[in-house]
Amino acid sequence: MTLTLQPIRVATGFDEDGMMVLDRQRLVAVLVRLADDNEVAPGHWYLEAGFGRIDGASHPTFASLDGAQDWIAQRLARHP
């Protein structure tokens, strides 16, 4: 599965560096990079929003964009 990342600013009020995650030109998730001074997970990527199969109560953080993409791809593959 090939996911496409597109940088975007996200109006969260604090951490605004984001990535739209697209699967075949469909928006499936929005990730936000947490600030380096974040107390919980500095520099990690947070699942700000998930759509379709990515939607749910869980909004995990990821140490890298690769990790986030792997998690998203697994969720998309799990539900054909």
How far is residue 26's CA from residue 42's CA, in Å, rounded to a whole number?
A: 29
Q: Cα angle at 65 between 31 and 74, to 5 degrees?
A: 85
Does the predicted TM-score (pTM) go above 0.75?
A: yes
**pLDDT for residue 19:** 98
Name the band, by pLDDT with cuts 50, 70 and 90, for residue 2: confident
List pLDDT tens digits, range 33-47: 999 998 889 999 999
The residue with greater pLDDT, 69 or 40, is: 69
List pLDDT tens digits, range 6-60: 999 999 888 889 999 999 999 999 999 999 998 889 999 999 999 999 999 989 9
Per the CB < 8 A criterion, the answer to whether 21 and 72 are in contact is yes
